[in-house]
Amino acid sequence: TQLLEQSPQFLSIQEGENLTVYCNSSSVFSSLQWYRQEPGEGPVLLVTVVTGGEVKKLKRLTFQFGDARKDSSLHITAAQPGDTGLYLCAGGGPSTDKLIFGTGTRLQVFP
Amino acid sequence: KAGVTQTPRYLIKTRGQQVTLSCSPISGHRSVSWYQQTPGQGLQFLFEYFSETQRNKGNFPGRFSGRQFSNSRSEMNVSTLELGDSALYLCASSSNYGYTFGSGTRLTVV
């Protein structure tokens, strides 16, 4: 069974601080996606990484796929209250057709 | 371009009843996946349909079933509802770029 563990589970920080969320597995994935979900809504795709060692930046968010394609990280610089939400990583393939979701990290950014 | 539409948004049912949830994917998307989201278990995969065929199934009991129509709209059905079925049920249509989720159906079983 493929599992994706995220840490930390909860994160509560002040506006302007930096943070990193980790997504780890013992399995290899062909691709890894990050989503953000706000209360009462479905997850929204932020980024997809497919190459080991790949780094993608989305404004203040930096995503990295591990060299062995078993782990990923999301770094947010100068967090803002609008970053508040549930962050989910999700892995796809090669041994599964379905998307496996991580356990989630709930981020709260206070003004 | 319309997103993924799920109906109804909220539902309250009694134990033992059955329920049908509906999902209309993004126009042109033929793959629809269903997930159950609970605080304790996170997002758990239910099943995936592609061109009216179930392509993948998660580890849920047979009370959970689904189908997809020729226009790609999908429905999922839960029979003999249990209290533990209370959850947010999410539908996603997928393309090469990733999944697009609907807003979900919040099911409460009392």
What pLDDT score was predicted for residue B1?
54
What pLDDT score was predicted for residue A43?
95
What pLDDT score was predicted for residue A93?
75
For the record, the structure tokens of A29 come out as 């994935």
Q: What is the pLDDT of residues A56-109, one digit of tens each?
A: 999 999 999 999 999 999 999 999 999 999 999 999 877 666 889 999 999 999
With beta carbons less than 8 A apart as the criterion, state whether A4 and A101 touch: yes
- Find the closest chain B residue to A96 by CA distance: B56
Contacts of B43 in chain A (CB under 8 A): 43, 88, 101, 104
Q: What is the pLDDT of residues A14-71, one digit of tens each?
A: 999 999 999 999 989 988 999 999 988 999 999 999 999 999 999 999 999 999 999 9
Q: Is the bond preceding residue B8 a cis peptide, omega within 30 degrees?
A: yes
B85 in A contact zone (CB under 8 Å): no
Average pLDDT over chain B reads 93
Which candidate in A32, A45, A58 is best for mutational testing of the B interface (most B CBs within 10 A)?
A45
Tally C-beta pairs within 8 A across A and B: 50
Least confident of A46-55, B11-20, B76-85, B95-104: B95-104
What pLDDT score was predicted for residue A1?
59
Q: What is the pLDDT of residues B24-69, one digit of tens each?
A: 999 988 899 999 999 888 899 999 999 999 998 999 999 999 999 9
With beta carbons less than 8 A apart as the criterion, state whether A90 and A61 touch: no
The set of residues, in sequence order, having a beta carbon less than 8 Å from that of B62 and lying 6+ positions away, is none
Q: How far is CA A2 from CA A100, B6, B25, B73, in A?
A: 7, 28, 27, 29
Are the beta carbons of A33 and B90 separated by less than 8 Å?
A: no
